[in-house]
Structure 1
Amino acid sequence: MQAMTNKELEYVIDSMSNEDLLMKTCAAAAAVSTHPAVKSCCEAMVHTHQANYNTLLQSLQQHQTIAPMN
């Protein structure tokens, strides 16, 4: 595996920010929803975005172990 380029790192970080925002938005929607199906769907999406965030975080952590030291 090769270390990520700066551009790839920026993309991963932007994606993590987007996933974080989506988690918060879905959690807020779930909190105010009175319809059980909508609430359940929003809660499921929170878990999906959390999983995506964790995958991106793992990518950064793997990069850290192979990145050249400056």
Structure 2
Amino acid sequence: MLQPLTAKELEYIADSLSNEELLMKQCACMSTSAGNQALGQTASRFLLGHQQHYQTLLNCLQQHQGLAPSSPQS
């Protein structure tokens, strides 16, 4: 059974989502602007990996959404 996420866990996931989003943008830029085809292909593979990480984190949040309190706890 899933347990509610703590505030610290939610902050960590939010930070991780932001980091993955930045890495996706950087890899996408590198894959299209690399002068070397092999480098561009490597950046594209990294992009796919970061997209998967982002989706995994998002899925985790969605799975725990129903457990979140409806109002802030004091």
Structure 1: how far apart are the matches of 2:15 and 2:63?
17
Taking only aligned residues, the RMSD between alpha carbons, in angstroms, comes to 0.8
2:21 is aligned to: 20
Structure 1 residue 10 corresponds to structure 2 residue 11: yes
Structure possessing the higher radius of gyration over alpha carbons: 2
| Aligned-pair identity (%) | 46
Structure 1: how far apart are the matches of 2:64 and 2:9?
11
What TM-score results when the alignment is normalised by the length of structure 2?
0.89
Residue-pair matches, total: 70
Residue 63 of structure 1 and its aligned partner are, at CA, apart by 1.2
Structure 2: state its 5+ residue gaps: none
Structure 2: how far apart are the matches of 1:65 and 1:47?
29
Residue 31 of structure 1 and its aligned partner are, at CA, apart by 1.1
